[in-house]
Amino acid sequence: MQIEINKSRNRQRTVSAKVVGETIQISAPQNIPDEKLKEIIENLRSRIEKRTKKRDLTSDTNLQAIVQNLNEKYFEGEIEVQSIEYSTNQDKIFGCCTYREKRIRISHRLATMPTWVRDYVIIHEMAHIIEPNHSKSFWGLVNRYPLTERARGYLIAKGATEEEF
Ligand SMILES: [Zn+2]
């Protein structure tokens, strides 16, 4: 991404930005300190890059199709998933699920892990739609996926906590 800075002498007090094609156009007050401007630009750049990455990841891999597949294979198609998408804000956890709304988000880090690990996390979050807690019946559902133990080992080695994954 390119950055274009316009400093304005007008009474502008705040920094604003818009993305035009591959360029981030920034308008800033004339007297803004360089340090401050640099900080703002870095923040913006990382936010925009995360957003782009998330969008690319989600459209590259058809997560909806994967969910449907797993649903039919392991849950007789009975789990209703409203939406699933990659998230670039999950550095510590691998997935989360708002079970009331049936929405699943999985970490962008899973995109570079083996697909059977990603599938495990999706299964895990799908099971939460039925069982919000890590109860016995929750694990009963998750264990329908034959690679569960292997995937858990993999994720724990990558820093997941045992209680969660
Ligand atoms: Zn869980």
Separation of CA 84 and ligand 1 centre (Å): 15
Separation of CA 124 and ligand 1 centre (Å): 6
Separation of CA 62 and ligand 1 centre (Å): 23
**Are 152 and 120 a contacting pair, CB within 8 Å?**
yes
Domains of the chain: 2-52 (no CATH), 61-157 (3.30.2010.10)
**Is the pLDDT higher at 147 or at 97?**
147
- For helices 115-130 and 63-75, give the axis angle rounded to 10 degrees: 70
Predicted local confidence at residue 91, as pLDDT: 65
Predicted local confidence at residue 11, as pLDDT: 60
pLDDT in tens, 19-29: 888 888 889 99
Check whether 125 has a pLDDT greater than 90. Answer: yes
pLDDT in tens, 48-105: 888 888 877 777 678 999 999 999 999 999 999 999 999 887 666 888 888 889 999 9
Q: What gap in Å lies between CA 122 and CA 142, rounded to an integer?
A: 10
